[in-house]
Amino acid sequence: MDDTSWVAPALGLARSGALQTVIIALASVALSVFSGVVLGVLLCLPQGRWNDPVCWLLNIYLQVFRGLPVLVTLFIVFFISPSAGLQLSSTSAAILGLSLWGSSNVMEVVRGAVRSIPTAQFEAARALGFRWRSVMRLVILPQATARMIPPVVNLTVDLIQATTLASLIGVIEVLQRSRQTVEYYQLSAGDGHAAPVFGGVLVFFFLICYPLTVLAGRLERGARNGKSTSGEKPSRSMRSQPVEVPQTTTGR
Amino acid sequence: MTLVSLSDFAAVEYSDVLWHGLVMTLKVSAISIIGSLAVGLVGAAIGELRVPVFRQLVRVYVEAIRNTPLLVQIFALFFVLPTMGVTLGPFTVGCVALVAWGGAYNVENFRAGLASVSPRYLEGARALGFSHTGAFLQVTVPIGVRLSLPGLTNTMISVVKNTALLVGIGLAELTFVVQKLSAETFRTVELFIVLGLVYLALVLTLSGLMHLVNRRYTLGAGA
């Protein structure tokens, strides 16, 4: 019963899986944040002009990928992309699928943060002769960024957890590795050690996610107290109102 | 030469199989939503009433669930319980996992709602002679639950979406059925598009319903 000879090979497998998990997580967080911020800013374009169809399309994108379960998005990307002439590896399909979901959530966060900046700021900058692009870049976004950070950290936690879904489209990440381990020892030795193996995976994710959750909570409380926690100086006229960034309806 | 007929669509041809999958998804969703609401309310009440020991246990439970992936929780339940002599089917494991998962989020939702009930109400009730528990049950809870509705709605929608993860343990819900059908018929594109549309319809219906509930029960500012 005290045979521990299985531990070392299991850890070796887990390490290679963990590496894959980290790669997918980093890539999809980076892609989500980058494309989410770009699309989210476009979503804030003044309405009623040439850009109405753009807004319309962006809103459909937002509703569809926030509404679909992440797993279904992954399946759709993975199984439908070959018919569209794209040969994606399961890893890149996972990164793309997670980023579609992540970026639509970031878009919502950006929109919420931009809307939480008093319109007077916008009007004052326009009155001073700034163009829309300059207003965004110089006035609105520097203030909104501080408000985006806590929800984006929360989303990062959700994305890290969602990387496990990649195992269901055949990516050999940490969860898939642990299942292989359990299966192997179940068949070869009659005891799969399921409890310590899956327990280990749970601990692995907890150790990554818990500090981030705590950090997000701190940043949120800091922002609510009117202090800027992101190292950015709040502008003098910024009211210390609570951050009204919409909660992300995620497919965690 | 035949024209396109309705039965050329995979969704129509296999509608009965898909229907069974949808019913399974709805069943698991309904059980999990109700269960997670109950777990959430009890957990939040324990926290609000400051029940010693149990309060700390609830915190551990909430943090453990929220900081680990649901899919790993599902697998852990499904593969670890049999080694302890408890063998549950995928349906039971799915419901238990989703109730536990949604429950942890609902503890937070209810806690936020209960915490934002103005202390004036509690003071008023105490002055009228309510006991501490009585005031909590008859004043704080009815108001706090209404204040937690938006958060609860989000969690409910997430629970419905997360029933898709049960494909991992082979429960014959909608995603599983579609995956199996597409492997058998190779009509992948249309089946998965239908799958996406059905989930979108489910999510939109639920959020529409909850919007009505919200409008009926939401309290204005100052509550």
Condensed to tens digits (0 to 9), the pLDDT of residues B146-183 reads: 999 999 999 999 999 999 999 999 999 999 999 999 98
Residue in A109, A120, A145 with CA at minimum distance from that of residue A244: A109
Residue in A122, A163, A154, A135 with CA at minimum distance from that of residue A223: A154
Which residues of chain A are within 8 Å of residue B69 when distances are taken between CB atoms?
Answer: 161-164, 175, 205
Look at residue B19 in the predicted model and tell me its pLDDT: 94
Which residues of chain B are within 8 Å of residue A198 when distances are taken between CB atoms?
Answer: 72, 75-76, 79-80
Residue in B111, B139, B114 with CA at minimum distance from that of residue B125: B139
Our CA angle for B184, B187, B190, nearest 5°, is 140
Residue A228: which pLDDT band, with cuts at 50, 70 and 90?
very low
Which residues of chain B are within 8 Å of residue A179 when distances are taken between CB atoms?
Answer: 75, 79
Q: Do B71 and A167 touch (CB under 8 A)?
A: yes
Say what percent of chain B tops pLDDT 90: 74
Q: Do B72 and A164 touch (CB under 8 A)?
A: yes
Say whether pLDDT at B14 is over 90.
no
Q: Per-residue pLDDT averaged across B190-219, rounded? A: 91
Our CA angle for A184, A71, B58, nearest 5°, is 80
Say whether pLDDT at A231 is over 80.
no
Q: Per-residue pLDDT averaged across B6-21, rounded? A: 82
| Cα–Cα distance measured from residue B80 to residue A247, given in angstroms and rounded to the nearest whole number | 34
* Residue written as token pair 């209960």: B114
Give the closest-approach CA distance of A71 to chain B in angstroms: 7
What is the per-residue pLDDT across B90-101, written as a single tens digit (0 to 9) for each?
999 999 999 999
Say whether pLDDT at B216 is over 80.
yes
Is B158 within 8 Å of chain A by CB?
yes
| Residue A219 CA: distances (Å) to CA of A52, A56, A243, B86 | 35, 33, 11, 43
CB B179 within 8 A of CB B193: no
Phi and psi, residue A163, nearest 5°: -60, -25
Say what percent of chain A tops pLDDT 90: 61
What is the per-residue pLDDT across B32-83, written as a single tens digit (0 to 9) for each?
999 999 999 999 999 988 889 999 999 999 999 999 999 999 999 999 988 8
Average pLDDT, chain A: 86
CB-based contacts of A237: which residues, under 8 Å, 6+ apart? A118, A120, A121
Q: Tell how many helices (H) and how many strands (E) occur in chain B.
A: 11, 0
* Residue written as token pair 């800091």: A222
Say whether pLDDT at A137 is over 50.
yes
What is the per-residue pLDDT across A157-214, written as a single tens digit (0 to 9) for each?
999 999 999 999 999 999 999 999 998 888 888 788 889 999 999 999 999 999 999 9
Look at residue A251 in the predicted model and tell me its pLDDT: 42
What is the per-residue pLDDT across A6-33, written as a single tens digit (0 to 9) for each?
888 888 888 899 999 999 999 999 999 9
CB-based contacts of A91: which residues, under 8 Å, 6+ apart? A20, A23, A24, A166, A171
Say whether pLDDT at B188 is over 70.
yes
- Amino acid A137 reads R
Residue A76 burial (10 A CB sphere; 0-12, 13-18, 19+)? buried
| Alpha-helical regions (H) of chain A | 7-43, 52-67, 70-80, 90-115, 119-127, 132-134, 141-162, 174-189, 194-224
Say whether pLDDT at A46 is over 90.
no
Look at residue A51 in the predicted model and tell me its pLDDT: 72
Average pLDDT, chain B: 91
Neighbours of A244 (CB within 10 A): 10
Q: Do A202 and B162 touch (CB under 8 A)?
A: no
What chain B residue is nearest to A197 in terms of C-alpha separation? B76
CB B54 within 8 A of CB A165: no
Nearest to B158 among A165, A182, A250 (CB): A250
Say whether pLDDT at A237 is over 50.
no
Q: Dihedral, CA atoms, A45, A46, A51, A55, nearest 10 degrees?
A: 60
Which residues of chain B are within 8 Å of residue A177 when distances are taken between CB atoms?
Answer: none
Say whether pLDDT at B217 is over 70.
yes
Q: Per-residue pLDDT averaged across A124-145, rounded? A: 91
Look at residue B204 in the predicted model and tell me its pLDDT: 94
Look at residue B221 in the predicted model and tell me its pLDDT: 52
Say whether pLDDT at A73 is over 50.
yes
Which residues of chain A are within 8 Å of residue B82 when distances are taken between CB atoms?
Answer: 194
Q: Per-residue pLDDT averaged across A146-153, rounded? A: 93
Top pLDDT among A220 and B12 is at: A220
- Amino acid A172 reads I
Is B195 within 8 Å of chain A by CB?
yes
Say whether pLDDT at B27 is over 50.
yes
Look at residue A248 in the predicted model and tell me its pLDDT: 46
Q: Do A71 and B80 touch (CB under 8 A)?
A: no
CB-based contacts of B198: which residues, under 8 Å, 6+ apart? B22, B174
Kindly provide the ipTM of the predicted complex, given to two decimals. Answer: 0.90
Look at residue B220 in the predicted model and tell me its pLDDT: 60
Residues of A with CB under 8 A from a CB of B: 63-64, 67-72, 75-76, 79-80, 83, 157, 161-165, 167-168, 175, 179, 182, 192, 194-195, 198-199, 201-202, 205-206, 209-210, 213, 247, 249-252
